[in-house]
Amino acid sequence: MAVLEACDVTKTYHEGQHEVHVLRGVSLSVARGEVVALVGPSGSGKTTLLCILGCLLTPSGGRVVIDGQEIDMNRGDRLREVRRRSVGFVFQQFNLFPSLTAGENVEYALNLKGCTGRKAREEANRVLDMVGLSDRRDFRPRQLSGGQRQRVAVARALAGTAPLILADEPTGNLDSENGARVLELFRNLAQAEGRALVIVTHDPLVRMIADRTVAIRDGRLVPEED
């Protein structure tokens, strides 16, 4: 069963009298337990597509279905609910709250999903341990290295039971050891918990753990070049 289905998704921006076509009819299906690597050159539309799949950006056309439910992009209240409960997002720029500790950043994300109190603290501890940061739980982002902040962002996305995980260059700020650790974690989560993952990447290691690689160029999915 597909956790994610995108059908003929388009995105067009208007700059004066000109139209900029960022996505040109993209269709993609990702099954439960599947890891998909999304690759392509800068400006190809990778991040735009990821933001539309994560209900962060409204497409110009087409439709998106997450966990069997078609998403109404005009319903702001419903989009927030979908993001909270059905999508975990690893942002390239971390997007951590600077005044909160690593543990509190993860707990806050869980609170938005309805998980609070002791249960949220236990889940935050669990995922921070999974990414090797149990000893940094009480550190604020400014006290962490770039790689550690990235792993907090990964832990925040994985906390809870969201069936869809979207990641934008999740290993870009990690050394090879921690990058491999995070990728192994992604692979295990897909297999053990049946989550669907889409990972935008330039990292060749991601292709090694992915079930398949999808290439995008000039806003269209294209056969991957060798």
The pLDDT tens digits for 170-199 are 998 889 988 998 999 999 989 999 999 999
**17-55 tens-digit pLDDT:** 889 999 999 999 999 999 999 999 999 999 999 999 998
Residue 203: both structure tokens together: 């990292």
> pLDDT confidence of 80, banded at 50, 70, 90?
confident
Please determine, for residue 69, whether its predicted confidence score (pLDDT) is greater than 90: no
| Domain coverage including residue 38 | 2-222
Q: Dihedral of the CA atoms 22, 27, 5, 73 (nearest 10)?
A: 30
**Domain of 109: which CATH number?**
3.40.50.300
Domains identified in the chain, total number:
1
Specify which residues 166 forms β-bridges with. Answer: 89, 198
Cα distance between residue 33 and residue 39, in whole Å? 20
pTM, entire model: 0.91
